[in-house]
Amino acid sequence: MQDRLKEAIQYIQGETALKPEIGIILGSGLGGLVNEIKIKKSIPYNLIPSFPISTVEGHHGNLIFGFIAGKAVVIMQGRFHYYEGYSMQQVTFPVRIMKELGIHTLLISNAAGGMNPAFSVGDIMLITDHISLFPESPLRGPNEASFGTRFPDMSSVYCKSIIASAKEVALAMHLSLQEGVYAGVQGPCFETPAEYRYLRIIGADAVGMSTVPEAIVATHAGIKCFGVSVITDLGIEGQVQTISHAEVIKAANEAGSRLTQLFVGLMSHI
């Protein structure tokens, strides 16, 4: 991986001299934040050595460098999923790259199914913790000590101070937020009613097919992490309805402007 990272970093640094402080991963239908960036450089994924390619509708394939509210950022306009056939190391390769480029904080967004009875479609949930139900860890295999410790502590993956700042920003902007635990699953199927019930029993408020691998690697790398889910459908017992990916993207797009406000407002607190 070190050789692949070195090659990718050399290519990126040959395209832009910008040194980002903050990394952002945009989930399904949540690309509106790009409109808030003072873009300095946009690099298609397919030009970056060893970089995966987005294959899911709603995920563009660009690594964008620029400024939001004066902060230097690098944004993944489109992410990768284990269910696409990528290994966990490939899914999280961009997080390793962002670390090498200099980020100290990673903001992650996703579209998720809500299981908490207090949730409604369109809600924004601050992720306070996660449950990993993926079949493997992105840290499986030999550990590279320069990347992080063999056994990283996971007691506080999602930065409490950034969560507190998000609440302040939301209050000032009159944005309503939820909080909860995110369950990460392999996918790509949406859950059965029994699976939703199981996930709720084990303590999850929302479920999705991403975020957890990236958050694990960010923690391993010493990067502060902040995550939010846009609730795009409901898996509440008695309220489970049929759902399509198109409907998920539609619901995410409708909530996108509020999520954009939150992320832009957070910049001065990070």
Model confidence at 2, pLDDT cuts 50, 70, 90, reads confident
| Residue of 256, 251, 250, 200 lying closest to 228 (CA atoms) | 256
What is the distance between the alpha carbons of residues 172 and 166, in angstroms, rounded to a whole number? 10
**What is the average per-residue pLDDT within 222-230?**
97
Q: What is the pLDDT of residues 24-53, one digit of tens each?
A: 998 865 677 888 899 999 999 999 999 988
| Residue of 247, 261, 252, 260 lying closest to 230 (CA atoms) | 252
How much is the pLDDT for 225? 98
What is the distance between the alpha carbons of residues 88 and 207, in angstroms, rounded to a whole number? 18
Residue 193: is its pLDDT beyond 90? yes
What is the distance between the alpha carbons of residues 105 and 117, in angstroms, rounded to a whole number? 31
Average pLDDT, whole number, for the chain? Answer: 92
Residue 239: is its pLDDT beyond 80? no
Q: How many domains does the chain have?
A: 1
Residue 64: is its pLDDT beyond 80? yes
Q: What is the pLDDT of residues 194-220, one digit of tens each?
A: 999 999 999 999 999 999 999 999 999
| Phi-psi region at 184: left, alpha or beta (left = phi > 0; alpha = psi -120 to 50) | beta
User: Range of 171's domain?
Assistant: 2-269
The answer to which of 67-71, 125-129, 234-238 has the lowest mean pLDDT is 234-238
Tell me, what CATH number does 210's domain have? 3.40.50.1580
